[in-house]
Structure 1
Amino acid sequence: MDTIARHLCRQLLEPIHLVAYMSEEPTEEINALGFEGYWPGYFAARSAPLGKAPAEVVDALFYNFAPGEVAACIPSVWDVTTPEAVLAARERGAVKALRRILGDLADSPELARAADVATKVAVNAPAAGRLLYAGLRSIPVPDEPVARIWHAATLLREHRGDGHTIALVAAGVDGQEAHVFQSIDWGMKPRDYGRLGPLTDDQLATVVNGLRARGLVDDSDRFTPAGRALKNQIESLTDTLAAPAYAILTPHEVDQLTADLTPIATRLEENGY
């Protein structure tokens, strides 16, 4: 089940969710509420399921943003609009983006069926310890199939993300260290990894040197055997924590959902998602 959870969420559902961050339409819809630039709308939309939560709460849940990034936008975004308005704008934009990218697939019976099955998984996942996922669960599920599949993908992406944070905390890896781990895993130098951009050179050096002192990263910014083992342990626990959501599916439903989602994920991949 761990492998099924990884494949369905990471390879097939997460690309659907990602249109909210990687397409112009959601940003345009959110900024039409009165925001400027990308990040205020991002933090508003992603934290909106929590209501007007303070920066300290949002920062704890988002986990891997650099110090001060969340507080630069939260709670001031709520002087501009409401969580409900932002959520509606994000959904409108995501649906527009998906319809543009998917074309005829958007109105196919396969997408509608996938939306129903993915929603069945998404609303029956265990919520304990998953606060961002739980917040999303409080939002009504859309009826329209494209909105419905995006909503389900978002629920399951944040459910997995909440579990990944649990795995990182259990491993003693903080948010910036997690970015260094990801950069190394992708064969990049930490300074070239975009999410580490807000850190100064001194701040980044402190993070990397801390991992070296723990025997996890070598002098060439590569994993030591212990570092690779810890990275694998984190990913394995993330899969394990995500797996119970998919236990509700029969083997036939797993096969059918995989078949229905594959052309959607392929179209999204062809367009850079």
Structure 2
Amino acid sequence: MISREAKAVCDEYGLGAREFYFRGRCGVLGECDADVVSAAAVFFPPDHVRQSWESGRKLPVERAVELYAEACHAWARRKLDGRDGCARIAELLQRVVENASPVGAPLFAGWRAVPLPGDAPARAVQLMHVLRELRGALHANAVIAAGLHPLDATLAAEHDGTPLGQRSGEMIARFFTWPEPYATPGPEVVARRAAVEETTDALMAEAFSVLSDGESDELIELLRFGHAR
């Protein structure tokens, strides 16, 4: 979303960053109404999703998905080419992806159907992206089941591993373009949000159950790449 590879696509095709983001990431849903995209991209304001999706219609979804995947692959080759372990990461993650249920995870299902590249760095990173879509969907389901509004869920937690070092709930809400001002979540909302994280982890663990304990430990060690941008 913020890589130089994604920016190059935006420049070439005359797209805004969020236009390419939604058309590329969510294009696996097909050429649909923006409400369908909002149903999957739960943590963004629906008005922002609609504006970005509609403004990006000049790029057909099939091509948008191809370009999004190609940007992912190019980033992977730039960052991970020559790193040991990419082939093994891809081997282990592919088993997890194949084991996971697509129920309640439309973007995961769509991206799982996208063909994988042949080289290890690109293959590993595309599989990481596919699993990120799985976790994102399961997390959204857990948030909704807990009766939390997506904005409240965003505000009521710290966020690790997010772009440009943005960690606080307010920073992420602003990044997602939720209108301000933001209410401070109370203790009950914070507690429900913490429980949602545990639920998400439990749901996600089912997909990883295909790996042995030794393979899980191996995967964790192999994935200690640090923050690569």
Where 2:14 maps in the other structure, the secondary structure is: coil
Q: Is the 8 A contact 2:156 2:185 kept in 1?
A: no
Distance 1:83 1:191 in 2: 30
Is the counterpart of residue 90 in structure 1 residue 90 in structure 2? no
The total of aligned residue pairs comes to: 224
Deviation by residue 1:217-269 (Cα, 9 ceiling, x = unmatched): xxxx3642x2332121110111111111101111222122223222xx22xx1
Residue 10 of structure 1 aligns with which residue?
none
- Tell me: CA distance 1:196–1:128, structure 2 relative to 1, closer, same or farther (3 Å): closer
1:138 aligned partner: 113
* Normalised TM-score (structure 1): 0.73
Query: Which range moves more in the overlay, 43-52 or 174-183?
Result: 174-183
Provide the secondary structure at the position in 1 that maps to 2:31: coil
Q: Determine the structure 2 residue equivalent to 1:58.
A: 37
The answer to whether the 8 A contact 1:35-1:41 is kept is no
* Unpaired segments ≥5 residues, structure 1: 1-20, 209-220
Aligned to 1:28: 8
Distance in 1 (CA, whole Å) between partners of 2:55 and 2:172 is: 30
- Of structures 1 and 2, the one with the larger relative CO (CA 8 A, separation 6+) is 1
Q: Would the aligned equivalents of 2:153 and 2:193 in 1 still touch at CA under 8 Å?
A: no
Deviates most, 157-166 or 133-142: 133-142
Q: How does 1:31-110 map to 2 (within 5 A)?
A: 31-32=11-12, 34-78=13-57, 80-105=58-83, 108=84, 110=85
Q: In the alignment, what sits opposite 1:243?
A: 205
Gap change, CA 1:189 and 1:49, over 3 Å in 2: closer
- 2:87 aligns with 112
What is the aligned-residue RMSD (CA, Å)? 2.5
Tell me by how many angstroms 1:46 deviates.
1.1
Matches within 5 A, 1:120-269: 120-182=95-157, 188=168, 190=170, 193-195=173-175, 197-201=177-181, 204=182, 208=183, 221=184, 223-224=186-187, 226-262=188-224, 265-266=225-226, 269=227
Change (3 A) 1:67 1:254: closer
Q: 1:130/1:30 Cα in 2 relative to 1: closer, same or farther (>3 Å)?
A: same
Paired with 1:101 and 1:161, the residues of 2 have a C-alpha distance of 24
Note if contact 2:138-2:204 (Cα within 8 Å) is conserved in structure 1: yes
- CA deviations on 1:32-80 (whole Å, 9 max, x unpaired) are 2x233211101101111111121011012111212410111224423x2
Which protein is richer in helix relative to its size? 1
Contact preservation (8 Å) 1:163, 1:238: yes
Residues 1:163 and 1:231: Cα distance change in structure 2 (over 3 Å): same
CA distance in 2 between partners of 1:91 and 1:131 (Å): 17
Instruction: Give the conservation status (yes or no) of the 8 Å contact 1:141–1:151.
Output: yes
Identity %: 26
Tell which structure's C-alpha radius of gyration is larger. 1
- Segments of structure 2 that go 5 or more residues without pairing to the other structure are 161-165
Equivalent position amino acid for 1:163 in 2: L
